[in-house]
Amino acid sequence: MRYLELSIDRPAEDRHPMHQFVVDHDEYTVARQLYHHQYAPRDHALLFHVDGPVGPYRETIQAVPSVIDFEIAPCPDDSFYIYVRDEVTESGRGLIDAFSRPGLLRARPLEYRTDGTVWVAVIGPAEAIQSAADAVGETTQTEVRTVGEFPSSSIDSRVGLTERQLEAVTAAVDCGYYEVPRAAGLDAVADRLECSTGTVGELLRRAEQTVMADLVTGGPF
């Protein structure tokens, strides 16, 4: 049983408009596709968790021609869940077909990231893994981030963190924020990152939430 994590870099014209929206707006960090079901050849339903404000996202998605319907559930922090019924576009169909091959399981939520890439992680037989990678590589630029046998030490909670969250956690560890007793406070981490203590606190809380939830419910154990 093999594990594969790919970073897929699609041209801007092939991205879904709402992925491009996340790319274009600094207040959003990542959109994670949690669930997907294709219930008709051209229609599918999806559930996302989006890290960013509701208002601008809601206003924009209302004007996307392929979106049939959507509902938003705001979270206590500056994020939200969104259920979407959407038409399957030609560019989207290739990605769906590649990772819907017999024997493949999705290991983690798809991540639509602010650098324009899509991160995909799958588990399955070597033949199915290779076939999916080859299919995607024929039409888009891809980078293999992790490949190996399952379980793998590479399948860890860092995959679920945004780059900014990982940067904050790294700075906190370097400063001694997590030492016992604590050797530095949020102000030291904020100085390292050149941002406010409020921003650092929020980044660390979200990172800790992701890591703890993954430890309890996810991972290779």
Say how far apart CA 167 and CA 151 lie, in whole Å. Answer: 26
pLDDT at 219: 46
Residue from 10, 40, 1 nearest 112 by CA? 10
* pLDDT tops 90 at residue 106: no
Query: Which residues, in sequence order, are CB contacts of 143 under 8 Å at separation 6+?
Result: 6, 7, 9
Say how far apart CA 78 and CA 8 lie, in whole Å. Answer: 27
Helix axes 126-137, 90-98, angle to 10 degrees: 160
Say how far apart CA 186 and CA 201 lie, in whole Å. Answer: 7
CA distances, 74 to each of 52, 108, 128, 175, 210 (Å): 10, 22, 37, 34, 18
Q: What is the pLDDT of residues 138-179, one digit of tens each?
A: 778 888 877 777 654 444 545 567 778 888 898 999 999 999
Stronger pLDDT, 220 or 109, i.e. the higher one:
109
Residue type, 214: D
Residue type, 182: R
* pLDDT tops 80 at residue 210: no
